[in-house]
Amino acid sequence: MTVASAIQHVTDLTFDQAVKASTPTLVDFWAEWCMPCRRIAPTVEALAVEYGERLTIAKMNVDENPEVPTRLGIRSIPTLMLFKDGNLVDMIVGAVDKDVLRKMVDQHVK
């Protein structure tokens, strides 16, 4: 599985459908100008390949899609939210190490 095929890009219109998937979905809320977002991007991409079919990774550009981040109360980026069956089950704000992110995901992914 390549990184490009492992990551979905979601919008305000496609977000709700994406997080209702049967597979847990990690959504990375980011922006082009955000340096911490750029710093964590390779970690998120590595997890997409590492977890494969067990986890869906989605990215949402908050500048291009302001509706969902506002609805979810996102005030800082990067914010990574983990959804199961459409419900928010965990989240991390800020650029964290891969081990921290993996620990969060492992609690919810088989």
Indicate the fold that domain 3-106 takes in CATH.
Answer: Glutaredoxin (3.40.30)
Under 8 Å between Cβ of 29 and 78:
yes
Distance from chain centroid for Cα 77: 11
Question: Of 7, 10, 18, 34, which residue is the catalytic one?
Answer: 34
> Per-residue pLDDT for 22 more than 90?
no
> Is residue 98 within a helix (H) or strand (E), and if so which, with residue range?
helix 98-106
The string of pLDDT tens digits covering residues 39-74 is: 999 999 999 999 988 999 999 999 999 999 999 999
Distance CA 57, CA 51 (A): 9
30 is catalytic: no
> Per-residue pLDDT for 81 more than 90?
yes
pTM: 0.94
Question: Of 7, 10, 26, 37, which residue is the catalytic one?
Answer: 37
- Burial class of residue 37 (count of CB atoms within 10 Å of its CB; 0-12, 13-18, 19+): buried
Domain ranges for the chain, please list them: 3-106
The DSSP 8-state label assigned to residue 66 in this structure reads -
Mean pLDDT of 15-27: 93
The string of pLDDT tens digits covering residues 87-104 is: 999 999 999 999 999 999
10 is catalytic: no
- What is the band of 32 on the pLDDT scale with cuts at 50, 70, 90? very high
Under 8 Å between Cβ of 99 and 51:
no
- Site of tokens 């891969």: 98
Count of all residues that appear for the chain in the document: 110
> Per-residue pLDDT for 2 more than 70?
no
- Which three-class secondary structure state does DSSP give residue 24? coil
